[in-house]
Amino acid sequence: MKIAVIGTYSTGKTTLAETISERFNIPYVRGDKARDIAAEFFPGKSLEKFTYDEQWSMQNKMLDSLTETQLTPGQLVTDGCTLTCLPYGDLLCGQRIRNEPGYSAFEKQVRMAADEITHLIYIPPELGLENDALRPASQNFRLEIDTKLLVTLKDFNFRTVTGTVEQRVEQVGRIAGIQDSPWRNYIAFEGLPRCGKTTQLQILKSHAEQFGAAYYQCARFDSPYAKDLYKLKSENLRIASKEAIELHAEALLYDFNNNHVEERIHNREIVIADRQKHTALALYGALGAPLHEIYRATYKVPTPGRVIYLKVSPRTSVERMKISPDGSALKHDLMLQSRVENLYEWLIPQFGFEIIDGERPAEVINNLLLEKIFGGRSHE
């Protein structure tokens, strides 16, 4: 098993890698040696002061260092990955880098070494920027690295982890299959409007006793954050401001705490939530908010251990809304729901959503859910 924690700078990669090593007794091998390399070969210079030739040399030295780490025999966890050499090379050297005689070999080595990693763990830029005196103290540059890295990651299987160090470690433990976590009992349902979540949740609740399961469905509380958010949305339904996103995040956290979710799952209860932080990512992202702002706002909101996604097309969602014409105008907006679906589709592999076809008959969906959650089918 080889775990590489990857992301733009100042995201907490080293802290997470070291904690994973300590928690799961996996050797930590330092991957991000950028400051050591710069101090040895380019003393006294920040990346912004490097000449083009120095930038190209730096990326080659970083690539060789990271490759050596990733090819280390046996199990390991490391902070960094050869894949970051591509976005840093592009942004620090410009398009000229692609005309270098050795660039094809450089890119091939990047990808070959990355193929040795069994678990690529991506951290979004949900923490504030810290100045390390080497990389640019620029949030824009930091986010550009993140954007280009995500483009590169499309060619690889990777998983996203979010939240505090403890939450991130727990998620990595589940992803890598090295921890039997009670958080698997915390299940969130996601999907477009009228995908059938409410109906299925009602049926599940009625069958829980039949399976002898300790089962709890989270309530939505009339919190002060929810009240302020509703008021804000009444003034502008399509608002995706920092204030709106933060209020939404606080409302989610309020509900999590007041439903005593963590206590319940540690007592082996199955806890179901109708929508969670992924809703905020999909909805506000579709409304135009930068994803890093949503991640930062929802940083303290625990990530569910499992997410079940009832998949219906945007057209089906909107057509069902016409039959029961309640809800906001956003739920009737086909273009918006298409953008929401696109973001959900992007999140599905990153967070390991379990997909159920929400356009199948309700009874079929119900039996699939009963198997997933309780391990069996209804006998009624």
The neighbour count for residue 100, using CB atoms within 10 Å, is 14
Half-sphere exposure of 346 (CA within 13 A, CB side): 18
DSSP characters for 206-242? HHTGGGT--EEEPPPP--HHHHHHHHHHHH-TT---H
pLDDT, tens digit (0-9, with 9 covering 90-100), for 215-238: 999 999 989 999 999 999 888 989
Q: Which of 336, 328, 333, 330 is nearest to 285 (CA)?
A: 336
What is the chain's percent helix, strand, coil content, to nearest 5?
A: 55, 10, 35
The full set of domains in the chain, from first to last, is 2-168 (3.40.50.300), 183-374 (3.40.50.300)
Q: Determine the pLDDT at residue 377.
A: 59
Helix or strand or coil: residue 82?
Answer: helix
Q: Determine the pLDDT at residue 125.
A: 96
Residue that is written with structure tokens 């997933």 in the block: 372
pLDDT, tens digit (0-9, with 9 covering 90-100), for 292-320: 999 999 999 999 999 999 999 999 999 99
Tell me the pTM.
Answer: 0.93
Q: Checking phi first, is residue 375 left (phi over 0); if not, alpha (psi -120 to 50) or beta?
A: left
Q: Which helix (H) or strand (E) holds 307?
A: strand 306-311
pLDDT, tens digit (0-9, with 9 covering 90-100), for 75-108: 999 999 999 999 999 999 998 999 999 999 999 9
Using the predicted structure, report yes or no on whether residue 336 has a pLDDT greater than 60: yes
Residue that is written with structure tokens 């920092």 in the block: 242
